[in-house]
Amino acid sequence: MHEDNSLRDMLKEKSATAFAPTLSAAATNTPLNGKINHSVCAWCYDMPLEDLCREARQIGIPAIDLVEPTDFHILQKYDLTCALVATNGPEWGITKGFNTPAHHDALVTYFKYYIDETAKAGFSNVVCFSGNRNGMDDQQGLENCVKGLQRIISYAEKKKVTLVMELLNSKVDHPDYQCDHTAWGVALCESIGSPNFRLLYDIYHMQIMEGDVIRHIRQHHACFAHYHTGGVPGRNEIDTTQELYYPAIMKAIYETGFKGYVAQEFVPAGPDKIASLRQAIQICDIS
């Protein structure tokens, strides 16, 4: 069938600009709408944390994600919160977590420190991980995580801190990671049965593993304490270079009554990383 090239080009141009502000437009300090509480992950930006804090304040971002307690004072200098405290150290983290009973004693001590430091700073959320399967089936891994987390969860409750387990993809970035599907994470959340254990729904990771992002958010939002963004494929900008439509995803999050933070966790591919961050905030800042 013959195509009308002018119509095709017009539609292509409209689709490319339908939801993403240009970098120049996003660079203006437009007041944010307030429906989404924005954060940004520190590791994605090749700059000193203090510089990122200054940029966040300029944009209107009130929080930084994945900062260690040793750097809390930098955030506090700029009146920023740590929306999700980092714990992925050299000994414990993504590959070695609560699904292995041999790790539980050390993990209890490790997380008591992070819970204490988080509470002292007045922050609320600490990230945690399942660990890799290493041949373990999912039911056994679930039971092991429950046993390990139950040893620390009452302490978290006492300190008013929430342990937040991240959902990660095992297909591209984290081979063999166990908490790699929403259903598994939700089953763990329900088994522990504490408001101080929740999930980090990473939109990038779960799009890779299972898609159907908005339905999962609507169905399981009670288990989600935190959200991360990222463009698919590639984990770069969340604009029209990738397959997810973030304004609709943000609208779905807002409609659940979510009061926590949505953090940008894409790795800027463009030369101006802060311009990319401003653009992402504008895309997610629904009216």
Find tokens 């409609």 and name the residue: 255
Q: Is residue 261 part of a domain?
A: yes
Query: Does residue 101 lie within any of the structural domains?
Result: yes
Helix (H), strand (E) at residue 15 = helix 5-17
pLDDT per residue, tens digit, the chain (287 aa), is 444 444 344 434 444 444 544 443 344 467 899 999 999 999 999 899 999 999 999 999 999 999 999 999 999 999 999 999 999 776 788 999 999 999 999 999 999 999 999 999 999 999 999 999 999 999 999 999 999 999 999 999 999 999 999 999 999 999 999 999 999 999 999 999 999 999 999 999 999 999 999 999 999 999 999 999 999 999 999 999 999 999 999 999 999 999 999 999 999 998 999 999 999 999 999 99
Secondary structure of residue 134 in the 3-state scheme? coil
Q: Is residue 21 part of a domain?
A: no
Number of domains in the chain: 1
**Domain annotation covers residue 25:** no
Q: Pick from 227, 228, 212, 215: which is nearest to 258 by CA?
A: 227
Residue 233: is the preceding peptide bond cis (ω within 30°)?
A: yes
Buried b (16+ CB within 10 A) or exposed e, 197-234: bbbbbbbbbbbbbbeebbebbeebbebbbbbbbbbbee
CA separation for the pair 252, 118 (Å, rounded): 29
Residue 91: its pLDDT value, please? 74
Q: Is residue 78 part of a domain?
A: yes
Helix, strand, or coil (residue 191):
helix
Burial label for 240, CB within 10 Å (0-12, 13-18, 19+), is middle
Which one, of 257, 206, 270, lies nearest residue 24 by Cα? 270
Backbone angles phi, psi at 261, to 5 degrees: -110, 145
With tokens 């604009």, the residue in question is 239
Q: Measuring CA to CA, which residue among 9, 26, 65 is closest to residue 225?
A: 65
Is 13 inside any structural domain? no
Q: What does each C-alpha distance from 34 to 18, 60, 252, 259 come to in angstroms? A: 21, 10, 15, 11
Say if 22 falls within a structural domain: no
| C-alpha to C-alpha distance for 252 and 200, rounded to whole angstroms | 16
Residues of the domain holding 136 = 31-284
User: What's residue 92's pLDDT?
Assistant: 84
Distance CA 225, CA 54 (A): 26
Q: Which CATH number covers residue 156?
A: 3.20.20.150
Any idea which residue has 């999050």 for tokens? Answer: 253
What number of other Cβ atoms are within 10 A of residue 281's Cβ? 22
Domain assignment present for 24: no
Other Cβ atoms closer than 10 A to 57: 13
Q: pTM for the full model? A: 0.90
Let me know how long the chain is. Answer: 287
Q: Is 261 exposed, middle or buried (0-12, 13-18, 19+ CB in 10 A)?
A: buried
